[in-house]
Amino acid sequence: MLFQHVAIAGLAHVDAPRRLSSDELNERLKPTLDRLGIKTDVLKDVAGIHARRLWDEGMQASDAATLAGVKALADAGIDPDKVGLLVNTSVSRDYLEPSTASIVSGNLGLPDTCQNFDVANACLAFLNGMDIASRMIERGEIDYALVVDGETANLAYEKTVERLLRVETTEEEFKNELATLTLGSGAAAMVLARAELAPGAPRYKGGVTRAATEWNKLCRGNLDRMVTDTRMLLIEGIKLAKKTWIAAKQALGWVADEMDEFVIHQVSQVHTAAFVKAFGINPKKVLTIFNEHGNIGPASVPIVLSKLREMGRLKKGSRIALLGIGSGLNCSMVEVVW
């Protein structure tokens, strides 16, 4: 769907403070690596991930999302009382219930008129949250929406390392769980507004989504474990992305050379390179953060967008493509005009 009246009034990210290097992880996993005869440094040499970030002990997904939400509201310069919708898009969550959104809403002191709920769709959820919020703004139901995401990979790391260090762990099991060790922590938030309330703010034009849900078994994750068929996920993910790209070209008039920046959900070096090659993207137009931050799930796209702004790479009139694939499989491609 394309939108005429939606602007990005506020944007913020929060980097988790603790750096965990791949060398540290490899050292912890050395007994299993030696026992299985694994000499290739998969995390650094193949995935291209030299480090990732973790929160300090005790940080919950809602805490991280709240931090980003506070910053985004301040960036937008609006009072929390004006927010009509809060969407939390985190894969990480505090509890099965209540919703993480309700906790963030309480933390932020949002009004009782503000709808709040979680949207779960793997790494695609933040883009889904933007779409839902924009539809409500376009229909005139609300003036402002806040989309938040807080990812905490700490528990998944500890539990996965424990499993991989068991003497009965096989090479196949090691390979299937390795993707968990590419995950990173971080948080992001975005304030979307009716365009006339945020004159001069970047416009959210909308986008397209395509699904290939017959491949829903390629990645299965819980809070403490993720099992992934990385080869097939890449193959089928790129196939779906190509189909989505065609739809984006038709709906948004995309030509790769005419776009100024490509903000890609970053899983690893391999996946990013495959995206760049598949669509003929100039690598200089892709800011990569996976090498130091890992795969931050749904927070990845808004964090990169926020970092691009901090770096001064987003100029007035810049056309920015946001690209995401979520296990399931689902793919969204949307455009922001700065």
As annotated, the active-site residues are: 97, 123
Q: CB-based contacts of 157: which residues, under 8 Å, 6+ apart?
A: 20, 54, 180, 181, 183
Q: How many CB atoms lie within 10 A of CB 97?
A: 9
Q: How far is CA 243 from CA 89, 126, 205, 208, in A?
A: 25, 21, 20, 10
Q: Cα–Cα distance between 190 and 8 in angstroms, integer?
A: 7
| Nearest alpha-carbon partner for 302 in 281, 317, 323 | 323
Give CA–CA dist 251/244, Å, rounded: 10
| Terminal-to-terminal C-alpha distance of the chain | 19
- Is residue 196 classed as helix, strand or coil in its secondary structure? helix
Distance from C-alpha of 293 to C-alpha of 54, rounded to nearest angstrom:
9
Q: Taking a C-beta distance cutoff of 8 angstroms, is the pair 44, 50 a contact?
A: yes
Neighbours of 89 (CB within 10 A): 31
Q: Are strands 261-264 and 319-326 parallel, antiparallel or unpaired?
A: parallel
